[in-house]
Structure 1
């Protein structure tokens, strides 16, 4: 039973949609990127690209920062590069893992034809948080290493 064929009601006198109208309706209902989905796809892709660029920039900055810190760090200075390397690894590795998980979850939402922009937005914010956390660990390691090297040089003088 359909809404147009209710028992006890006389049949409708108006004819149904023509074949051309039916074909147009079916074509519109099965488009891959309807307007609402297109905005979702664009915002998702942009957030994923920004997250990837942010991860690459973090990796380059982390490599340069670790190289500059470890160049002046030796046993006589009393510092170890482990904390600086750990902070850079947290920032870059964490952002990479979050980015990979975000891509997988976004593609899963696309396959299920669900909105995915919010997944990419949460992934982007989490990547920023992890990069900031790695930066704090890195800065703390560099500050504690610099403090110990200045105290060692002051004690030897």
Structure 2
């Protein structure tokens, strides 16, 4: 068996009396219909992979920053200052968890589009934007907790 004579693949030369299905199979084979990365869709695949990679890096950086921020914010948080660490954890969880869940869903949908031979860059772009939205929302919740903690501690210190 050689690579040019794949079992179940199109015939190498379609005889004049061959069926119309064999000619269609030959054209499909020549168009690259049997590959996951057809040449015509290479830019789509590259942009999808890059957007997914940027989303992954963004989620990892958010995780590291979130862990450090929660540790530093809760270090001086105690009941005497009226501080509650729940909002710190909530903001970090929204940012990290939301971007992770959106990232996983985006990967699944993008691979599904690849299998169906559809364009997938827009799926990765929407997932990237939604992940940025989750990180922003989590940051706002975290910053609100920091502001509330600093306000209650400054009120307690002036009284």
1:38 aligns with 2:42: yes
Looking at structure 2, the residues matched to 63 and 144 of structure 1 have their Cα atoms a distance apart, in angstroms, of 20
Shift in Å at residue 27 of structure 1? 4.0
Shift in Å at residue 35 of structure 1? 2.6
Alignment length (residue pairs): 137
For structure 2, list consecutive stretches of 5 or more residues without a partner in the other structure. Answer: 1-11, 15-22
Greater Rg by CA: 1
Q: Alignment partner for residue 52 of structure 2, among 25, 40, 48?
A: 48
Q: Which residue of 1 aligns with 2:6?
A: none
Looking at structure 2, the residues matched to 96 and 26 of structure 1 have their Cα atoms a distance apart, in angstroms, of 38
Q: Which residue of 2 aligns with 1:19?
A: 13
| More relative contact order, 1 or 2 (CA 8 Å, 6+ apart) | 1
1:28 aligns with 2:30: yes
For structure 1, list consecutive stretches of 5 or more residues without a partner in the other structure. Answer: 1-17
Shift in Å at residue 37 of structure 1? 1.1
Looking at structure 1, the residues matched to 28 and 61 of structure 2 have their Cα atoms a distance apart, in angstroms, of 46
Q: Which residue of 1 aligns with 2:139?
A: 135
SS at 1:50 equivalent: helix
Judged with a 3 Å threshold, the aligned counterparts in structure 2 of structure 1 residues 24 and 111 are, in CA distance, closer, same or farther, namely closer
Looking at structure 1, the residues matched to 26 and 111 of structure 2 have their Cα atoms a distance apart, in angstroms, of 29
Looking at structure 1, the residues matched to 28 and 100 of structure 2 have their Cα atoms a distance apart, in angstroms, of 41
Q: Which residue of 1 aligns with 2:95?
A: 91
Could you tell me the TM-score, scaled by structure 1's length?
0.81
Q: Please provide the CA RMSD for this pair.
A: 1.9
Shift in Å at residue 46 of structure 1? 0.6
